[in-house]
Structures are given as structure tokens and as C-alpha cells.
Amino acid sequence: MSSPVNREPVVDALAEVWNSIRAACDGLSASQWEEPTDCPGWTVRDHLSHVVGIERMLLGDPAPPPLTSFPEHVRNPLGEINEAWVESRRATPGLDVLREFRETSDRRLEELRSLPAEHFDVVARSPLGEMPYRRFMQTRVIDSWAHEQDIRRAVGRPGGRNGAGEATLLVGCADNMAVIMGKLAPPDGTVVSFVISGLMGRQLAVRMETGRGSFVERDEDGEPPTTTLTMDQEAFWRLCCGRVEPVRLLGTGQVRVEGDVVVGHQVLDAMAFIT
């Protein structure tokens, strides 16, 4: 008798994103695997090696030997682990890394679909701290999809947009705007409005009260916001993922700041929280 298969949406989201990664990488030439990306120091192959490494680690596979020195873009212990997996495949042809990714993602999906539904509610330790397993898997959706877009941008193969991966990332980015405002700590009463266009666009407003940021309705008190930031959904998540400097998007008009420009630029500079 076969094992029961759960109907957990986050597992379906992972399957969708991983299938899209396969499509993005299928048929890449040897030179395309070596293309640089928006992540400093990483090529197209390195992004796929990273995803392979994380999922193999979660499967309990042996880790590569730890590195003794690290490039500048490695800034924390998790980054050191990630870089070891990437470095261990730098001499591996991209096609072989893709083959390993197919095998690894298939193993992970089989494992995830065999878990009882209640397992996704269990709070446990993860590389990102304690959280319900479902939330941790949502971070895997976000990470996998962000790296898929890094690959697609580098090789000129747009796609994978407006699906489960981007939806999950946009929710995470939107939810974090109040946290960012709280860390910046502008004066109480400051309201920053985010006007995000696109198929999955949305409008958010964050008000500072007693030193904390909280979401409010944009016209709650009838007063105009202190600052309005206008951009499309791609610019929004690229800023949150640290994939582009705000000055570049401001220079091309992809981001517009109205109202208090100083506050607007402070928020833009602080938006990168997924790196």
C-alpha cells in the first residue's frame, strides 16, 4: 500500500517553482552556465548549486567540507554553509548540476508529500530560527523562486512570473514593510504609502505610532501620507531581495518618490531584507 499524500499547498508551490527552474535551465549552453548574475560572485550554475545544497541538507545528505576562507558576499554562518555547497560544484558542468537538481527536487517532493498534514504545523528549529514547518517551507518557495529569477535574468529567459513563487514572495515583502519602518524609527505620525502596480500589485500604508510601524488604511484619517513610493511588483521584490540598488530604479523612473523625499530614500535603502 502506498504512503498517503498530503494536500499541503506549500508543497504544490515548491513543485511549481522547481519545475519552472528546470525549464529555465534546460538547454543552457556551457557559456550560459558561467554568466554572472545579480548576486555578487555567483554564476547561473552557482544559483542552482545553492538550491541543490539546501535541499540536500534538508534531506540529511552529507555536507561538503567547510571552507576556511570566504568571499566578501558571505556575511553569516548560513552564508558560509551555502558557499561550501556552491564551491564544491564550481568545477562541475552545469548540465550535471541540473541533473542533480532534478534528482534532489524529486526526492524532496516525495518526502514532503509523504509527511502527515499536522507535521506542517509543528514548530521546530530551522536554519532561520524556530518556526512552524509550513512557514519554513514558504521560505524555501521564496528562496527558490528568487534564484530562478536570478537565473532567468542572467540568461535572458523571462518567465515563471505571477505564480505561486512570486505570490509567496510578495506577501513576505509586504508583511515586512512595518518591520522596516520600525527599525528606521521616523517620527510618530509618519505614514509611508506603497503603491505597487502589476497583476499581483497592492497598496500598503504604514504609520509610525509609539515607535512602532503598523499597517493602516490609506485614507484612515483623511490626511495625505508623508511619503508615497510608487513602483511595479518586480521593482518591489527586487528591492526587498537586494537584487538592485534603489538609485538605479530611481534613475530609470521605475520607482517614484512623492512627499518627504528624505524619508522615501531612507525606506528604499532599508528595504533589502532577503539576501
Strands of the sheet containing 202-209, edge to edge, are 212-215, 202-209, 191-197, 227-232, 255-259
Same domain, 253 and 145: no
* Residue that terminates a domain, selected from 106, 138, 160: 160
Same domain, 142 and 189: no
**3-state secondary structure (DSSP) of residue 212:** strand
Per-residue pLDDT at 3: 53
Range of the domain at 25: 9-160
Per-residue pLDDT at 146: 98
The grid cell for 247 is: 538609485
Burial category of 108 from C-beta neighbours within 10 Å (exposed 0-12, middle 13-18, buried 19 and up): buried
**3-state secondary structure (DSSP) of residue 213:** strand
Same domain, 45 and 150: yes
Same domain, 14 and 101: yes
* Residue that terminates a domain, selected from 112, 135, 160: 160
Triad 237, 221, 211: Cα angle to 5°: 60
Q: What are the pLDDT digits (tens) for 43-69?
A: 999 999 999 999 999 999 999 998 888
Same domain, 14 and 102: yes
- 24 closest CA partner among 155, 119, 185, 184: 155
Residue 2 falls within a domain, yes or no? no
Rounded distance between C-alpha atoms, residue 121 and residue 28, angstroms: 39
Strands 255-259 and 227-232: antiparallel
Place of cell 530551522: 126
Beta partners for residue 231, in sequence order: 196, 255
Q: What are the pLDDT digits (tens) for 85-136?
A: 999 999 999 999 999 999 999 999 999 999 999 999 999 888 778 999 999 9
Q: What are the pLDDT digits (tens) for 227-275?
A: 999 999 999 999 999 999 999 999 999 999 999 999 999 999 999 998 7
CATH of the domain at 129: 1.20.120.450
Same domain, 216 and 148: no
Same domain, 199 and 239: yes
Per-residue pLDDT at 127: 78
Rounded distance between C-alpha atoms, residue 245 and residue 178, angstroms: 21
Domain total for the chain? 2
1 pLDDT more than 50: no
Same domain, 194 and 120: no
Same domain, 127 and 252: no
